[in-house]
Structure 1
Amino acid sequence: MTTTAPALLTTHGEIDLSARSFWALPAAERDAAFTVLRRENPVPWSRPVESDLLPPELNTKGFWSLTKHEDIRAASRNAEVFSSADGVIMESFAPELTELVQSFIAMDAPRHTQLRGITMDAFKPKNMRTLEGWIQGHARDLIDEIADLGEGDFAVLVSKVLPARIFRSMFGMPDGEMGDRTVEACQRLLAFTDPETCGDKTGLEILAEAMTEIHQTAAEIVPQRRANPGNDLMTWLALAEFDGKRMTDDEIGAFLVMVGVAANDTTRHASAQAIHLFSQNPDQRKLLVEDVPGRIDGAVEEILRCSHPLNHMRRTATQDTVVRGQEIKAGDNVVLWYCSGNRDEDVFEDPFRFDIERSPNPHITFGGGGPHYCLGAALARTTLKSLLSEVYTRIPDIHASEPDFLIGNFSNGIKRLPATWTPESAWR
C-alpha cells in the first residue's frame, strides 16, 4: 500500500535517520538529534533507509518514527494495530525469509502465542536455574583467566567470549568445528552494516550465510536430541509442548537464530558498554565497588537503559491510526526507537546522566511490554549481573580507553575496547 506521507529528503531539518552517515556520528550527536525530534517532531516521517540488505529498487518504503517513551510503550502493547508479522528490522523481506531469520518475534497471534508458549515451557523454573548456574560458573571461570593479565581488549577477551560459552552450554553445542562455526555465525548476524565484517560481500550475503549455518546446526542436533534427550535448551525445545503441539525442526532452527543474536550479540555489546560507562563515570564505579551485592541490580538496569543494545524494532500498521495528531496509514512502517525512549525527558530526570541508583527506572530496552516483550530479558540480566559482580569484585579499578563502535542503525555495539586494570593477585 502506498503511503500518503510527504516525500521528504530528511527526517526533520538536517536530521536524517535513514542515512548511513547519521549512524556513523558519535553517540552524543545522535542523542542530541533525537532530543530535537522528541521536542519538535516526535512522530516524523523518513525516506527509505539506506539499506545494506536490499537493492534500491526493492527498498521503496519510508517509515514513521516513534521517539517518545509513552508512544513506544503504547504501540508495543497494541499488536493488533502495530503488527510484527512483516518483520522487525527496517527492511521487508519475503515471509519465508523473515521467519527463518526472525522467528516468532516476526509473528502475531495466534501463531506467535503458540510458539512463545512452547518456548516458555522450555524455560520453566527448573531449567532456568540450570541456565543461571552455567552463567555464573562461566563468568567466574572467564575472570579467573584474565584477572592477572592487567590489560587487554575487554570486548575481545570477555564480552565476545562469555556469551559464546553460555550459548554453547545452553544448546549443548559440542566442542570442535560445528560449535565454533555456529557461534561465529551468531556473532556475524547483526554485523551486516559493518564494512570490516562484510569485506567484499553484501550485508544480505553476510546475513544469509550466517542464518544458513545456524539452521544447518539445528538440523544436525535436533534429531539427535529427540532420540537421545540431554540436559540442554535444544532438548527442552525439542520436547516442549503448548496446547499439545511441539516446534518443528525449522521453527527450532529459527529460534536458534533469534537466541543466537540475543546471546552472542546484544548481551555481548551490553557488557562492553558497561565497562565503557563505568570508565566514563568513575564516581558511579566507586559507588558500585563500595557495595557490589547491594547495588549491582540497580547498576544492571541503568546499564541497560543507557546502552540499549538494540536501537529499534519495527512494526507495520494494520489499519489507519493517529499518534500525536499524525495520521499513519494501514501498511505504513513504524519504527520504535528505544534509544530515544530511554532518554525521554518526560520520563527520566536528567536522562543523560549515568546513575546506578536511579529509581524508578522504567527503561524500554527489552521492549515496551505487550506480547513481544523480550523472552530473554531475565537471562540477559543474569549474565550482566554475574559478569559485573566478578569484574568489580576482583578487578575493580578496570578502566577502558576509547571504544571502537559498530556502525549501524540496529545494533548498538562495541567491536574493540582496550582496557587496563590492577592484576587480581596484587590486591591480595
Structure 2
Amino acid sequence: MTTAIPTHRDIDLSDKNFWAKSPEERDAAFAVLRRENPVPWSRPADSDLLPPEQNTKGFWSLTKYEDIRFASRHPEIFSSAQGITMEDFPPEMIHIAQSFIAMDAPRHTQLRGITQDAFKPRNMRRLQSWVQGHARDLVSEMAHLGEGDFVELVSVQLPGRIFGSFFGLPPGEIHDKTINAAQRLLGWTDPQVRGDQTALELFAGAVMDLHETAGLLIPERRANPGDDLLTWMVQAEFDGKKMTDDELKGFFVLLAVAANDTTRHASAHAIHTFSKFPQQRELLVADVPGRVDSAVEEVLRWSSVLAHMRRTATQDVTVRGSEIKAGDKVVLWYMSANRDEEIFDDPFTFDITRNPNPHLAFGGGGPHFCLGAALARTMLRSLLTEVYTRIPDIHAPDPNFQVANFINGINNLPATWTPEQS
C-alpha cells in the first residue's frame, strides 16, 4: 500500500502535530508548498503562550529563497517590532526577551551599532581563542569513553562553557542556574523540555533567571571591568549612546540563545548528519583542514537550526499573487529556503563540497543579519576539527528530535566511537 503524496491543502503549519513529524516529512511538505502554494495562509498557531481569546492572528508563510531575501532586506515593509516568532508572546515578553532583533530603525540601528562596537576584531579574536580551547578540552574529556549521549557530553557543554567565558560567569550556583535557563529558553513547545510547565511558564521562568543574573553582573562590571563580553557591552557606545540596564538585560537573554541553543543543536546535527552520510564523513576525515570550512557551511544549510523568523507587514504588499495586508504576520521559513530547488542543485543531497552555498542559516540579509555568524562558524569549525581528527568513526544514527517550530533541535544523540588511547 503506497502513501498518497500530500497536496498543499493537507499541510497545516499551525498544527503542533506537524512539528512532531520527522525532518524528512517536514522537508517534503515544504517542497510541496514551494511547488504548489509558496505563500500560504495559515490559521492561528496552536499555542498556549496566549489565552485562546487573544491567540487570534493567522499568518502568511514565505517558503521561497528569493521572497525571504526580499522581505529581509525591506524592513520598511516587513517590520520586526511586533515579534519575531510564529507564535505570539505577551507584549511585555517581546521587550524583555527579544532585545533589538524585535525592533526597527532608528533604535535597532543604535543598539546594533553599540553591539558591533563590542564585537570589534580584537574582542572577536579573544572569543575565538576561548572557543578553540574549550572544544579541545571537551573532546579530550570524552574521547576515551567510547560511547555516550553526544548532546550531554559535548553539545550542551561546549556552548555552556563558552557562554560562561563570554560573560565571566562566576563558578557555582549562578553559573549553573544561568546555563540551565539559557538551554531551556526555546524549548517551550517540546514536552520533554517543558515537563509539567505551561509554555509561558517555562519561557518566562528562563527569562527571569537570566535577567536576575544580568542584574547582578551589570553593576559589578561597571565597577570592576573585566575581559569579557558583558564588560565590553557595558562600555560600548554608538553615536555617544550606551545601552540602558534594561536593554543590557534583554541583550543578555538574546546572547544566551545565540551562544547556547542554536550552537548546541547545530553541533548535534553535524554529528548525526555525518553518521547518516558516511561517505561524506570519510571525505571530511581524509582532509579535515582542507574541507572543514565547506563542511560547516553545508551543515548549516542542511540542519537549518533556526527554522524561521517572523515579520509584520507595515503596508499592503503582494507576493506571488498573495495579497498580504498591513498588520498581517509573515513567517520567513529559512528551513524551506535552504532546500529551494531554484537556488541549490540537488538540495536534498548533503554535500560538503557544495560551492557556492548561499544558505540562509543566519537570515536573509538586511539589518537583522546575525551578528554572531562568524563566531558560530568558529564554534562548529573548532568542534568538527577536534572530533573528526581524534574520534573520526563516531556514529550517532538515532537522534531524539525536539518538537518545535522555531528551533530545529535535538534533545538526545546516543553515540559510539573507538576510544582514543591516552
TM-score, normalised with respect to structure 1: 0.96
> Structure 1 residue 133 and structure 2 residue 129: aligned?
yes
- Give the CA deviation at 1:332: 0.1
The answer (yes or no) to whether the contact 1:11–1:47 under 8 Å persists in 2 is no
Q: How does 1:44-193 map to 2 (within 5 A)?
A: 44-193=40-189
Separation of aligned partners in 1, 2:391 and 2:193? 31
The answer (yes or no) to whether the contact 2:178–2:210 under 8 Å persists in 1 is yes
**1:396 alignment counterpart:** 392
Separation of aligned partners in 1, 2:299 and 2:142? 23
Please give the per-residue CA displacement for 1:342-399, whole angstroms capped at 9, x wherever unaligned: 0000000110100000000000010000000011111110000001100000001100
Separation of aligned partners in 1, 2:96 and 2:188? 16
Separation of aligned partners in 1, 2:157 and 2:174? 16
- Give the CA deviation at 1:56: 1.4
Q: How does 1:210-359 map to 2 (within 5 A)?
A: 210-359=206-355
Separation of aligned partners in 1, 2:107 and 2:236? 16
- Give the CA deviation at 1:191: 0.6
> Structure 1 residue 417 and structure 2 residue 402: aligned?
no
Separation of aligned partners in 2, 1:95 and 1:57? 15
Separation of aligned partners in 1, 2:93 and 2:69? 28
Task: Give the letter for the 1:145 counterpart.
Answer: E
The answer (yes or no) to whether the contact 1:11–1:44 under 8 Å persists in 2 is no
Task: Give the letter for the 1:101 counterpart.
Answer: A
Task: Give the letter for the 2:304 counterpart.
Answer: H
Separation of aligned partners in 1, 2:88 and 2:408? 21
The answer (yes or no) to whether the contact 2:288–2:388 under 8 Å persists in 1 is yes
Task: Give the letter for the 2:360 counterpart.
Answer: I
Separation of aligned partners in 1, 2:125 and 2:286? 28
Separation of aligned partners in 1, 2:397 and 2:342? 32
**1:370 alignment counterpart:** 366
Equivalent of 2:201, from 194, 198, 205? 205
Separation of aligned partners in 2, 1:160 and 1:64? 34
Name stretches of at least 5 consecutive residues in structure 2 with no aligned partner: 1-5
Separation of aligned partners in 2, 1:136 and 1:265? 19
The answer (yes or no) to whether the contact 1:397–1:422 under 8 Å persists in 2 is yes
**2:3 alignment counterpart:** none
TM-score, normalised with respect to structure 2: 0.97
Please give the per-residue CA displacement for 1:272-296, whole angstroms capped at 9, x wherever unaligned: 0000000000000000001101000
Separation of aligned partners in 2, 1:197 and 1:409? 14
Please give the per-residue CA displacement for 1:94-115, whole angstroms capped at 9, x wherever unaligned: 4432021100000000000000
Greater CA drift, 246-255 or 84-93: 84-93
Task: Give the letter for the 2:284 counterpart.
Answer: L
Please give the per-residue CA displacement for 1:88-142, whole angstroms capped at 9, x wherever unaligned: 0123344432021100000000000000000100000000000000000000000
The answer (yes or no) to whether the contact 2:50–2:90 under 8 Å persists in 1 is no
Greater CA drift, 94-103 or 43-52: 94-103
Task: Give the letter for the 1:245 counterpart.
Answer: K
Query: 1:13–1:62: structure 2 CA closer, same or farther, 3 Å change rule?
Result: same
**1:383 alignment counterpart:** 379
Separation of aligned partners in 2, 1:227 and 1:371? 33
- Give the CA deviation at 1:326: 1.1
Task: Give the letter for the 2:299 counterpart.
Answer: I
Query: 1:217–1:41: structure 2 CA closer, same or farther, 3 Å change rule?
Result: same
- Give the CA deviation at 1:249: 1.1
The answer (yes or no) to whether the contact 2:49–2:88 under 8 Å persists in 1 is no
Task: Give the letter for the 1:196 counterpart.
Answer: Q
The answer (yes or no) to whether the contact 1:11–1:45 under 8 Å persists in 2 is no
Task: Give the letter for the 1:287 counterpart.
Answer: L
**SS of structure 2 residue aligned to 1:221:** helix
Greater CA drift, 198-207 or 334-343: 198-207
> Structure 1 residue 28 and structure 2 residue 24: aligned?
yes
Query: 1:11–1:314: structure 2 CA closer, same or farther, 3 Å change rule?
Result: farther
Q: Identity across aligned pairs (percent)?
A: 69
**1:3 alignment counterpart:** none
The answer (yes or no) to whether the contact 2:7–2:32 under 8 Å persists in 1 is no
**SS of structure 2 residue aligned to 1:336:** strand
**SS of structure 2 residue aligned to 1:268:** helix
**SS of structure 2 residue aligned to 1:56:** coil
- Give the CA deviation at 1:11: 9.8
- Give the CA deviation at 1:197: 2.0
Separation of aligned partners in 2, 1:243 and 1:315? 27
**SS of structure 2 residue aligned to 1:371:** helix
Please give the per-residue CA displacement for 1:20-39, whole angstroms capped at 9, x wherever unaligned: 01111111111111001000
CA RMSD of aligned residues (A): 1.1
Task: Give the letter for the 1:382 counterpart.
Answer: T
**SS of structure 2 residue aligned to 1:315:** strand
The answer (yes or no) to whether the contact 1:11–1:17 under 8 Å persists in 2 is no
Separation of aligned partners in 1, 2:82 and 2:7? 23
Task: Give the letter for the 1:264 counterpart.
Answer: N
Separation of aligned partners in 1, 2:117 and 2:19? 39
Name stretches of at least 5 consecutive residues in structure 1 with no aligned partner: 1-9
**SS of structure 2 residue aligned to 1:57:** coil
